[in-house]
Amino acid sequence: MLFALTFLVPIAVVAVVVLAGVLPAQRAAPVRRGAALCAPLAAVPAGLLAVFGGGESVDVPWLLFGTRFSVDAVARPLLSIAALLYGGSLLALT
């Protein structure tokens, strides 16, 4: 579940930003403000996965000859640092 949220929440934020680019200027301004305020929340599922995602793995057999996504002892600190940097950079842009 956390793996799905880690990939789908940033895609949803990008979809809202693209929607703001398609709308007329007067209607796009509130959507852009809302997307800018909610953009740092896109890194929250990755942070939760780094903290609470112990032993979960997802197999994706159609991607690169069979790929497995998992969080182990090495990936946990790297994922937490990436989530903090990504969230901090999105927060700095708002």
Cβ(40)–Cβ(91) below 8 Å: yes
Question: What does the pLDDT average to over 79-86?
Answer: 93
* Tokens 């709308």 -> residue: 23
- Residue 80's pLDDT is what? 93
- Residue 27's pLDDT is what? 84
Number of H helices, E strands in the chain: 4, 2
Q: What is the pLDDT of residues 34-79, one digit of tens each?
A: 888 888 888 999 899 888 887 778 888 898 888 888 888 888 999 9
Cβ(40)–Cβ(85) below 8 Å: no
- Residue 94's pLDDT is what? 64
Q: What is the pLDDT of residues 11-28, one digit of tens each?
A: 988 888 888 888 888 888
Model confidence at 85: pLDDT above 90: yes
pTM of the predicted protein model: 0.75
